[in-house]
Every structure is written in structure tokens, then in C-alpha cells.
Chains A and B, each alone.
Chain A
Amino acid sequence: MDTMIIDPQVLRSIHRSELRKRILLYLSEIYPSATYLSEIARIVGSDPSNVRGALVGLGNRYNGESSLVYLGLVEEVSNNGFKYYRLTEYGKKVVEYLREYYRYYRKFM
């Protein structure tokens, strides 16, 4: 547990991005269950292409490098040709930190 390094730069960048934050919070609510992209989009109130961007990256808005799957916070699971998304163990830890730092980031960043 202690060797899983939490990068403050990653926490800060997620804190600044409302959509990625909302996706993580939703996936942590349903953890350890996985869900579809369209379901996530409906819950977080954004369109599926934006959600796809946040999850796996596309276009220039969310380049792959800051996408939640790329960062190891969310995993993509394929089942019968369908893709599901689930928070990873590591993602769960990051969500805990985001909650604890929420007020600090609001005030000091």
C-alpha cells in the first residue's frame, strides 16, 4: 500500500477537471462494480464523447496522457463485446485523497 505513490500533480490536475472528478466519484460510489460509458455519461450529465475523452482520451481536450485509464485510476473491462469501466484499487485511494484535500485545494490552489 505504501509503495503505491500518489502524485500530487495528478491529484491537482484531477481536482481542476470537473468531469474527470465527477466520473471518479461516481465510479467510487458503485465500487467495485463496473458500468457502461453511456451510463456514466447519463449520471455525470455530460455527453458520451466527452466522457470517452476523460476515460481513455481522444482529440485534444483530453489527450491520452491525462485520461483516467491511462493514469491507472480506472480500468476498462471487455465482456461479450461490451466495454465496462471500473475504479481500480489505486483509483480508490486517489479518490480518498481528493476528498481529504477538497477544501485545501479550493482555498489554496
Chain B
Amino acid sequence: MGEISVLDSNIEHMVRMAILHIIQLGTKHGVFKVISRGATQREVLDSLDIPNKKLLLEFLNTLKAIGIVEERDGRLKLNGFSYRLDVPKNHYEALLPGWVAVLEEIYRMVDYAFITPTHPHVLMDFDKDADFWDIRMNTDFAALYREVIAKTGGIDQGSSVLDLGCGSVSPYEFGKRIGYDGLYVGVDYSPAILEIARARVEGESLPVELKELDLKLLRPVNEYQTTVMSFIFEYLKPEDYRRVLRRALGTLRPGGSLIILEPFRDNFRHIEALEFFERLNKDFKRFPAMSEVASLIADEGFDASIKRLGRSLLKVTLKP
């Protein structure tokens, strides 16, 4: 199996496992029990002993989006949802254990978030919990997607790369790959994440520059051969996509390419299950659709080719 399809099947499995955990949460917190009595949404919210009503409401919306629950005549109903979690031989060999351990931690955080969103066991804030994020970006799964990004974007010895929302691990990993005669510029708005990134890079004399900046304020400079946006669109409001894409493409020199990696919502059914967990991070918005990103780029009138690679990767290349 090629690396891109391994990436896709891991994301697919993340979504499938997330559904299972949604069902587990609904059972554990008595949500299904109340719903099975034919309650209204209001009644479900009021009768359950869950202090964080906002999260509970999000949970109900997730159940509806996945199709576990539907609203008819003002009442919520369980609609006999069933889905399969396949363990086919060829896929299973490709599954990476690292993300499972991390997502398991996140499933557990929901119980505490149901009490209060600021509970100390909820570790999803980029600044306050940069350590957890760093651990998350250090898994075998992250190593795989970085490999895929590097190969797709031609990131190698001597490359010049701009990484938007770089996190704390990519600067070191890509920096090593690029070597001393290249340039890697990482942009991130979290000072805590950048502090960890710096600690990794320092003393290694890598060609890495790190800038604390909201990527929405980026200046187009026409300098880079490759610009990377990996797991970033999910933190942007859809109304900002156009502006951000225009600026991101504006950072490239002719012939350069923009690599976008996301679990695109139009390619992964029931992605709302995974979104429920990711939303424990207050900056998370939603996963973008591949079609919406691709058509915005086409709209902007850049002379560029757009390649859809598998289900989670877009490569946009400017005319040389």
C-alpha cells in the first residue's frame, strides 16, 4: 500500500474509532436512555446530570450529524444506527499504534469537560497544554504524514519551506531534512508551542527560523518553493479560507507548491464523530471540505494546477 493510502486508512480508522467512543459516551452518561423515552432536546438537556450543557448540546448535535439520533416532531429518536468497524488484513498492517494512545487520552478528557470546560484534566489548549500537543505531534502517525508531505512537496536538501501553523515537531524534522543550505520558516501563533520547538532546534544548527504570528496576517512574499499547511484549516473559520489561501499561494515563487493536509470532510463519512473530540480545543472550528478548498483556489484565478492526492492531501502548483 502506498504511503498516501496508509495515511488515509489511518484517518478513516480514527473516525471509525471515534464513532465507537461517541456511542460509549452516550451509553455511559445515560443520554441514550433519556432519548429512548422520546424526550425533546430541551428535556434531554435538563434531565441529564451533566453540568456543561454547551458540550452536551454539541454531543446531541454530533449524534444527529452521524445519524445515531434524529429529531422528528420536536422529539429525539434513536434510529437503529449501525456501522461496521472492519479489521481487514491489508489495512490492519498499515495501522499505526501511536494515534490510538493519544486519542484514547482525548476520549477520556470528555468526562471531565462534561463537568467544566476548564477542568485540569482537559489538555487541549495550544498554550496551556503545549506538552500534550507536542506528544501528539510526535507519534508514528505524525512521522508518516511528515514523510508524505516531504515527498509530495519535494522537501529535500536545500529546499526553502514555509510551514504555516508549524507546531513543535515539524521545525526539527523538516529542518533536518533540508540541511544547512536550505531554509525552513515556521509560523505559529502559540508562544508555548514555539518555545518547545526552539528547545528542539537549538544547538543543532539547523536552517530553521521560527516566527510567532497568526497566519491570517501573513504577507505574500513570493519566496518559497514549498508552503505547508498541515492540520491547520480545521482551526480557521470558513469565511477566512479565501483570504488565507490567497496569502499562502502568494508566498510561493513561480513553480512552487502549496501542500494542504487535512481529514477532508467530504472524503470521510461521519467525520463529525472525530470533530466532537477535536472541539475540546477551543480554537477548533471544523474540518474543511476538499471541494470547497479546491474551488476557492480555482476561483482566485491563480495560474495553478490542483492535484487531489488520495482523500486527505491537496497539492497546488503554480505555473513555472
Q: Say whether A8 contacts B195, CB under 8 Å.
A: no
Residues of B that sit less than 8 Å from A by CB: 96-98, 100-101, 104-105, 121, 123, 127-132, 134-135, 139-140, 192, 195-196, 198-200
Residue pair B101, A2 in contact (C-beta under 8 Å): yes
Min CB gap A54→B, angstroms? 22
Q: Which of B98, B130, B135 contacts A108 (CB 8 A)?
A: B130
Task: Report the separation of the CA atoms of residues A85 and B124 in the bound assembly, to the nearest whole angstrom.
Answer: 35
- 20 more A-B residue pairs beyond the given contacts A100-B196, A101-B199, A108-B130, with a C-beta to C-beta distance below 8 A: A2-B96, A3-B98, A5-B104, A8-B129, A8-B131, A8-B132, A8-B135, A9-B121, A9-B123, A12-B131, A97-B131, A100-B199, A101-B131, A101-B196, A102-B199, A104-B131, A104-B196, A104-B199, A107-B192, A108-B195
**Known interface pairs A2-B97, A8-B123. Does A104 touch B192 (Cβ–Cβ under 8 Å)?**
yes
Residue of B nearest to A11 (CB): B131
Of all chain A residues, the one with the shortest Cβ separation from B193 is A104
Distance to closest chain A CB from B92 (angstroms): 15
Residues of B within 8 A of A100 (CB): 134, 196, 199-200
Q: Specify the chain B residue showing the minimal Cβ separation from A105.
A: B131
Does A6 sit within 8 A of B, measured CB to CB?
Answer: yes
CA distance A101 to B195 in the complex (A): 8
Tally of chain A residues near chain B (CB < 8 A): 17
Q: Give the shortest distance, in Å, between B189 (CB) and chain A (any CB).
A: 15
User: Is A108 a contact partner of B128 (Cβ separation < 8 A)?
Assistant: yes
The answer to whether A61 has its CB under 8 Å from any CB of chain B is: no
Could you give, for residues 79-109 of chain A, a 1 whenever the CB lies within 8 Å of some chain B CB and a 0 otherwise? Answer: 0000000000000000001001111110110
11 A-B pairs, CB-CB below 8 angstroms?
Answer: A2-B97, A2-B140, A6-B135, A8-B123, A8-B132, A9-B123, A12-B131, A97-B131, A101-B134, A101-B196, A103-B198
A-B pairs with the 4 shortest C-beta distances? A2-B98, A8-B131, A104-B195, A2-B140
- Chain B: minimal CB distance from A12 (Å): 7
Smallest CB gap from A6: residue in B:
B135
| Complex Cα–Cα for A107 and B194 (A) | 12
B52 vs chain A, min Cβ distance (A): 21
A97: chain B residues at CB < 8 Å are 131, 135
Task: State the Cβ distance, A109 to closest chain B Cβ, in Å.
Answer: 9
Give the residue among A3, A104, A107 with the most B Cβ atoms within 10 A. A104
Docked Cα-Cα span, A100 to B135, in Å, equals 11
The answer to whether B101 touches A3, judged by C-beta atoms less than 8 angstroms apart, is yes
A97 to B130, CA, bound (A): 12
